Structure 1
């Protein structure tokens, strides 16, 4: 299977509409088209851009950020990089406001959301400013709401409103704290600003990623004072922490809310909720128990619109290039990491022989589901002793099946890695759990991930039989992301390039 397409039954969509780690989503509608972006942390190109005609079927069309303009991102910076962004359309241009928690707030712009996007422009150089969202007001003024990262600046639970220069979009006045949730709305963050019927609204998730809720603030004056109201929570539903996302209005006038749910090893998956307005307050989801607070739905009538082709997950590596779903663990260097060779296969230059956690040219994508099988062909033709090529499930505890060239021939190894230091520059310790000699330098390997959060690796025999290598391994989340399916090459002689052919994914 090359693409994931959201399931539709009897005209109803099933949540999550995006069962993948599109963390901290924001979305807008321009004409008949919807666009969504999300955070991506150390994985680059970053801040992916998705397109839909109906809010249910999405296709990835590009990335807002090709690389980050700081030397530290030449190496993996797990947990750093691009945090919760905001997407807006103003005066014929798309704007993505993107926080780097250690460097500040930046924006990039484009006339076409598929790209190219401009270089990053600095809005505010600051440590600990996160989750920005701009608002162009009716009088031409521009404002930006943002939150704070306690780990960087010691502040939490607060939303600040800054004034921006309308021309440069740089902060000209830091402005007041317009909301302090220390007592009533802990972990207030991720603000999204809107204006409707003369009211200013700031949608904020509160209560934390795992078990929080969606709060909305409103005021007649942009600087407040703001009233607060919880508009969606888990309630009796099975959907934990429903919050942080985007309000969009369809062409027919119906309102919808896209938000994430933290599914731990799978990351933060995206749900779509019906939304309406009562007395100038939004109501999200479905009333279930009379408490006046919405609860998320598991299915609902599909919004009007055309179904799209879905998200690419498998890959034939057409013309030797990875598809849009793939990201590196650091600033990309495709000219150094990919060898241009004719044909539909990926020729990945072997990287350093250190841990996969610290290797910048590991190529990975989000897990496509909780239960799936992936197989891929790995080859080391022309590579010297020490060269390795593999398929991995990356996380803070990771595993991989890799084909290895030795002086005596080729072996297949089952490797386990454990991250020992969760700092952004921390490393992992790797152990070989199982090893098997093979009489070829090209093999097809498979892995099966189950809802039990386990992955079993195997070799595929000529008759298609899967021959397990070692026992099942745990699937673990990475830093601020879910686990990731990864391909890599490492070790060997300088200039060695492994060959990777046809990744197939089935459910």
Structure 2
């Protein structure tokens, strides 16, 4: 009966599966088309990933922090070719708090599980507690989030449905809030998985002089053993640890099952284990690449004496090295090459799934249209504006590769002097190229800001003086428009070169070379913005298209 329910649940999911054309990136494809793949399988910032297998389908989610929509849902048939199919979270809770840009806060290290026909995602918000959201259809609406346990410092939760019907939750602790870290605790939840019903029990202490910064645990059971897969040693240079015990509360014995070894893949850890219908085990995890974020790797996994070994263990010591190139997982058929969408013509009433705002979406941010463009209204800057760290309606997407070119066709509309719109590379350091109205003209400007979180001021330079494309009466004041194409080329090392064009054919280099830098727990992003000085009527930006190419 349980198996029948499982099959029916998959049938329901397939009925709601949206018809999407396959998209193939020009700048990064993992599948080599010959049965092999190269890592990363996703060269984009899907940090703290987790994955679950449902029949022949794989669903993945990742941290989204303050960005919305949050909790991206990616789907694959072979663990190599992925596409974004949905988001599980429309707005980050509590909504009013996250209506402002709260860099680095919000959704930390989620886990995704499928249990008795229902998909569950748990995540920790270090300032508010552990949340859960669920659905029977991963492509459709997800339920309103449930606060499973309120409190500060609890992060990286993962549930486990045990054989006897009891439900457990493992999680880590953030030192920035709890004032202690490097420990894992386990508690019990109710059978619905909606509330914690016991006190936490300490099951692993990474304050042992070896496994510091242990966090991001994933909870499994196999052959009578409880397993905690968890990264230790820190994001940049850590390793993958696995602990096992016959008792859910321990004591647990631990082994390092994957480390960098002699490879150039630093800090290979934090991810999820899945088994395929062909009987293979695989592990999806991240690698920190600075400005490019935490990119996603796929590694083979095998079991030796009830211990997992991840990667390739050439010396047989039980600790594997991550692979840079490997054969694809075995499947019953060959699936087409596919990647997450990057370019957007903005020709539908739904925003492309590659886009996220820097805070909870509000109507005044802007609108999609049925007229071939998306509109972003100018965010009213605070009276004491210093830099874009405060701006919530940045519409951005992840860097998709080490090298790429992004071009946007834009139309700027402004009535008041100081209204500014354009293209931005956002992170702890950021740079934008934008068009600002001043009297009867538009000024093309570049800004560079270092350590924006610290409140540092922008360094702004004027690059060109532009005539309006059009001027017309609109209410009490005339409206000035300027059509422009703005381009950024990103080279290896995250070096960004800007250029612009007035006709879409001839581009002129503009501004200074800028080295992108990651944001707070996220990689650098590229996208559009529009801002208005405090107390003035909003200007706006219409985005005709945004294209990512070599």
Q: TM-score, normalised by structure 2?
A: 0.88
Unaligned runs of at least 5 residues, structure 2? 1-21, 470-481
Relative distance call for 1:405 and 1:3 in structure 2 (3 A) is: farther
How far does the alpha carbon of each residue in 1:2-28 deviate from its partner, in whole angstroms, 9 at most, with x for none? 653434153100000000000000000
Identify the residue that residue 465 of structure 1 maps to in structure 2.
506
**SS of match in other structure, 1:173:** coil
Conserved? CA contact 1:2–1:315, under 8 Å: no
Identify the residue that residue 205 of structure 1 maps to in structure 2.
231
Q: Identify which of 343, 356, 361 aligns with 1:332.
A: 361
Instruction: Measure, in 1, the Cα distance between the counterparts of 2:397 and 2:134.
Output: 25
**SS of match in other structure, 2:92:** coil
Instruction: Measure, in 1, the Cα distance between the counterparts of 2:506 and 2:541.
Output: 24
Identify the residue that residue 454 of structure 1 maps to in structure 2.
495
**SS of match in other structure, 2:402:** coil
Q: Does 122-131 or 349-358 show the bigger shift?
A: 349-358
Conserved? CA contact 2:358–2:394, under 8 Å: yes
Q: Identify which of 232, 242, 253 aligns with 1:216.
A: 242
How far does the alpha carbon of each residue in 1:217-257 deviate from its partner, in whole angstroms, 9 at most, with x for none? 00111111111011000000010000000000011101100
Conserved? CA contact 1:286–1:294, under 8 Å: yes
Conserved? CA contact 1:232–1:285, under 8 Å: yes
Q: CA RMSD in A?
A: 1.7
Instruction: Measure, in 2, the Cα distance between the counterparts of 1:110 and 1:407.
Output: 53
Residue correspondence of structure 1 range 42-121 to structure 2 within 5 A: 42-70=66-94, 71-121=96-146
**SS of match in other structure, 2:511:** coil
Identify the residue that residue 407 of structure 1 maps to in structure 2.
439
How far does the alpha carbon of each residue in 1:359-408 deviate from its partner, in whole angstroms, 9 at most, with x for none? 11111111111111111112124644332211111011100111122213
Instruction: Measure, in 1, the Cα distance between the counterparts of 2:195 and 2:261.
Output: 41
Identify the residue that residue 293 of structure 1 maps to in structure 2.
319
Identify the residue that residue 152 of structure 1 maps to in structure 2.
177
Identify the residue that residue 48 of structure 2 maps to in structure 1.
24
- Structure 1 residue 176, shift from structure 2 partner: 1.3
Instruction: Measure, in 1, the Cα distance between the counterparts of 2:134 and 2:493.
Output: 42
Conserved? CA contact 1:2–1:314, under 8 Å: no
Instruction: Measure, in 2, the Cα distance between the counterparts of 1:153 and 1:338.
Output: 38
Conserved? CA contact 1:59–1:308, under 8 Å: no
Q: Does 318-327 or 131-140 show the bigger shift?
A: 318-327
Identify the residue that residue 190 of structure 2 maps to in structure 1.
165
Relative distance call for 1:51 and 1:392 in structure 2 (3 A) is: same
Identify the residue that residue 350 of structure 1 maps to in structure 2.
378
Conserved? CA contact 1:357–1:419, under 8 Å: no
Instruction: Measure, in 1, the Cα distance between the counterparts of 2:145 and 2:112.
Output: 14
Conserved? CA contact 1:459–1:467, under 8 Å: yes
Identify the residue that residue 432 of structure 1 maps to in structure 2.
460
Instruction: Measure, in 1, the Cα distance between the counterparts of 2:519 and 2:50.
Output: 22
Confirm whether residue 315 of structure 1 aligns to residue 344 of structure 2. Answer: yes
Instruction: Measure, in 1, the Cα distance between the counterparts of 2:319 and 2:307.
Output: 11
Instruction: Measure, in 2, the Cα distance between the counterparts of 1:151 and 1:95.
Output: 27
Q: Does 142-151 or 282-291 show the bigger shift?
A: 282-291
Confirm whether residue 36 of structure 1 aligns to residue 60 of structure 2. Answer: yes
- Structure 1 residue 465, shift from structure 2 partner: 3.1
Relative distance call for 1:235 and 1:281 in structure 2 (3 A) is: same
Instruction: Measure, in 2, the Cα distance between the counterparts of 1:434 and 1:407.
Output: 15
Q: TM-score, normalised by structure 1?
A: 0.95
Conserved? CA contact 2:346–2:368, under 8 Å: no
**SS of match in other structure, 2:108:** coil
Unaligned runs of at least 5 residues, structure 1? none
